[in-house]
Amino acid sequence: MHPDIPRAVEALKAGLLVAFPTETVYGLGADASSDAALQRLYTTKGRPGTHPVIVHLARAEMLRDWARHVPPEAVHLAHRFWPGPLTLILPRAHHVSDRVTGGQDTVGLRCPAHPLALELLTAFGGGLAAPSANRFGHVSPTTAQHVRQDLGDDVALVLDGGACPVGVESAIVDLSGDEPRLLRPGMLTRNQLEHALGRPLAAPAPQAPRVPGALERHYSPRTPALLVPPEAVEGEARRLLESGAPAAVLARRPAPPWAADWIQAPEDPEGYARGLYAALRDLDERDRALILIEEAPSAPDWDAIRDRLRRAAQGFSR
Ligand code: TXA
Ligand code: MG
């Protein structure tokens, strides 16, 4: 067992917050059955009380403790993809706090694949409410250091499991209605999910349950970010440099010799996703007036990345 687990469990039982690594991003964990712990979670995150959080579980069998109805498709997806980067939205069990569900009749559940997360969940025994361990609206953390930078002393303990191997948040599938809906794309692709379900995933309902980023900018650096087509990145960066306001750049193409704050991202979606949030944080720290981001390819395996880039740049267009 990781030496910090007993202390982490003790803190959680005392209603304190423990950040832990998952395969997607770091989570800020609180005892999901304690209203006091959940209150602390909302205050620390700076998150509106109507915004639901995902309950993390050690094993798929625990679904029945949190959902009042577990449809066969949920059992199937859990069996196929858990532990892994997938969140299921199901009808909530009666005891589940409004602080978890944001007052909705559904609850989000996920069994994460990171060994340290599973150790923590197993030792804790119950469900852990865990949003990404950043302040509300900011870029999600993918290292323990990111968490400490964002939350400092507001978190009792940060379990350090290294850099998150997936890098962007779980896919969210809503199975609480007549047809399955994809509420948030993840690196587990629509194709893989539809193949496992044997039917297509619908878009979020128009009267959607609260989906991340639906209300405002989300996953955003503090520096304004602008998405630009691949063929325009270099020209735009050059123009800004010559105008005396050089931008920071995230692109899949190599930096031209004259560019200073330019991060070259990997060509493959897995590598790109893994490094995305660290790159955005890094570019944010360069204190430029603008971050230029090269648009991602339109292929389906880039869906989650395009979604996060669009949200990072939301509200900034010229
Ligand atoms: O990969 C992940 O899912 C990470 C790691 C830590 O597990 N967690 C994460 O949590 O991304 P968070 O809180 O940053 O985003 C979860 C989103 C919420 O913004 C919310 O919109 C959605 O999940 N969600 C949770 N419960 C829901 C529900 N009952 N109905 C609809 N959406 C829900
Ligand atoms: Mg988040």
Q: What is the pLDDT of residues 87-127, one digit of tens each?
A: 999 999 999 999 999 999 999 999 999 999 999 999 999 99
Q: Which of 18, 47, 87, 175 to mutate to test the pocket of ligand 1 (most atoms within 8 A of CB)?
A: 87
Whether the CB-CB separation of 17 and 23 falls below 8 Å is answered with no
Pocket test for ligand 1, best of 20, 45, 53 (most atoms within 8 A of CB): 53
pLDDT score recorded for residue 216: 47
Residue tagged 């030792």 (tokens): 123
Which pLDDT score, from 0 to 100, does residue 252 have?
A: 98
Of ligand 1's listed atoms, the one at least distance from the Cα of 130 is 6
CA of 285 to the centre of ligand 2 (A): 20
Model pLDDT, residue 316:
58
Specify the DSSP class assigned to residue 258: T
Cβ within 8 Å of residue 3, ≥6 positions away: none
Indicate which atom in ligand 1 lies nearest the CA of residue 87.
Answer: 3
**Would you tell me how many other CB atoms lie within 10 Å of the CB of residue 222?**
13
> Which ranges in 152-288 belong to alpha helices (H)?
190-197, 233-242, 269-285
pLDDT < 50 positions in the chain: 213-216
Index of the ligand 1 atom closest to the CA of residue 134: 14
* pLDDT of 231: 96
Task: Please report the atom of ligand 1 found closest to the CA of residue 172.
Answer: 23
CA 211 to ligand 1 centroid distance, Å: 8
Is residue 169 in contact with ligand 1, taking CB distance under 6 Å?
yes
Strand partners, 228: 294
User: What three-state secondary structure class fits 7?
Assistant: helix
